């Protein structure tokens, strides 16, 4: 037990929690926005991979870091537009289209990377975002190094979660998104264009997914490799259900999973050689499955999720 308390009392653990949670926050918000409008976007894994690659590639070729994030957002929006065209306009299966986007985006990422970056023994690197000190707060004992020495995208992700919660539940735009995800025909009767709302939500949500992937190469690490997303997109899909499609809970869910992950990494170093490392790797996923099972029973799914909309049909 002393080992557990020592780990939990470490400021480094909580700093790592915010760092690990950032791509999950962005990806979960993107998936949540899509699903709130009635569209399931399983392309998230591939979109995050392509965002990681194209954002890094932009910076590697001379762009600044914020431009890299913008390029990743634009690329995510393009894949979102593709997914929306297949599912909203053509009414194709959202599962099949999303998985197709993931396979295409992941493979295209590797192709473009190998085409434009010379093969070397070690991957080329860039200068990533650096942690910034928040005046007065960063010098606070324990809390300062734990919470207020993060990179700018981490603070931006937390702000976006709060901003999206406000937009969805406190603005006419959010009402239109929620109404489209619940009953698009009723939304149309109120003068809302459900197809336009779904297009906008999917494109914006996919842009957030792309930024989530770019965080990995522009902040968490400084180079790109094709498998670096490592299933984070699928975790984001699960976190949306855990959060009951609410941005505030999505933020808490991402932080909770990041805590599990950061904790197992430190526990692994303390108990290496005593317990097989695969056991530690399983811990965050097992705990997440347990939390998801508990929360999913009370989750209220948007009623029109995965249902294609046809004007005039009911």
The pLDDT tens digits for 72-116 are: 999 999 999 999 999 999 999 999 999 999 999 999 999 999 888
Measured between alpha carbons, how far is 302 from 247 in angstroms, rounded to an integer?
14
Q: What is the CA radius of gyration of the chain?
A: 20
Measured between alpha carbons, how far is 245 from 236 in angstroms, rounded to an integer?
11
- The whole-model pTM stands at 0.92
Written as six digits, the tokens of 72 are 């990743």
DSSP letters spanning 258-304: HHHHHHHHHHHHHSBTTB-HHHHHHHHHHHHHHHHHHHHTT----TT
Helices (H), the chain: 2-8, 11-36, 44-60, 65-84, 94-116, 143-147, 152-170, 172-182, 184-189, 194-215, 232-242, 247-270, 277-296
* pLDDT tens per residue, range 227-283: 899 889 999 998 999 898 999 999 999 999 899 888 888 877 777 666 677 777 787
Between the CA of residue 6 and those of 256, 263, 280, what are the distances in Å? 19, 11, 17
Tell me if 261 sits within 8 A of 239, measured CB to CB.
Answer: no
> Can you give the pLDDT at residue 293?
78
Between the CA of residue 204 and those of 13, 15, 41, 208, what are the distances in Å? 32, 28, 12, 6
pLDDT-based confidence at residue 146 (cuts at 50, 70, 90): confident
Q: How many CB atoms lie within 10 A of CB 153?
A: 26
The dihedral sign for the CA sequence 57, 62, 68, 70: negative
Instruction: Please give the domain boundaries of the chain with CATH numbers for all domains.
Output: 2-295 (1.10.3470)
pLDDT-based confidence at residue 126 (cuts at 50, 70, 90): very high
């Amino acid at each position: 037990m002393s080992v557990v308390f020592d780990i939990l009392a470490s400021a480094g653990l909580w700093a790592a929690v915010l760092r690990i949670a950032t791509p999950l926050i962005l990806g979960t918000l993107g998936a949540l926005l899509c699903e709130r409008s009635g569209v399931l976007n399983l392309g998230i894994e591939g979109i995050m991979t392509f965002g990681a690659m194209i954002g890094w590639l932009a910076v590697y070729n001379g762009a600044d870091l914020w431009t890299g994030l913008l390029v990743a957002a634009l690329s995510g929006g393009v894949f979102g537009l593709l997914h929306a065209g297949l599912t909203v306009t053509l009414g194709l299966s959202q599962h099949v289209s999303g998985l197709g986007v993931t396979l295409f985006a992941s493979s295209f990422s590797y192709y473009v990377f190998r085409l434009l970056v010379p093969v070397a023994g070690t991957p080329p690197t860039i200068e990533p975002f650096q942690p910034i000190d928040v005046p007065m707060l960063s010098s606070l004992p324990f809390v300062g190094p734990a919470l207020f020495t993060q990179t700018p995208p981490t603070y931006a992700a937390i702000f976006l979660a709060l901003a999206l919660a406000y937009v969805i539940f406190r603005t006419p735009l959010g009402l239109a998104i929620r109404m489209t995800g619940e009953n698009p025909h009723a939304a149309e009767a109120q003068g809302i264009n459900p197809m336009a709302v779904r297009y906008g939500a999917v494109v914006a949500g996919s842009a957030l997914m792309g930024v989530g992937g770019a965080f990995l190469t522009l902040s968490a690490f400084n180079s790109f490799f094709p498998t670096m997303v490592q299933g984070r997109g699928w975790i984001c899909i699960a976190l949306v259900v855990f959060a009951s499609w609410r941005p505030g809970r999505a933020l808490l869910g991402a932080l909770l999973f990041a805590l599990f992950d950061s904790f197992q990494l430190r526990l692994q170093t303390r108990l290496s050689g005593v317990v097989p490392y695969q056991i530690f790797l399983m811990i965050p996923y097992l705990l997440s499955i347990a939390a998801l099972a508990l929360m999913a029973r009370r989750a209220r799914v948007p009623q029109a999720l995965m249902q294609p909309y046809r004007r005039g049909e009911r």
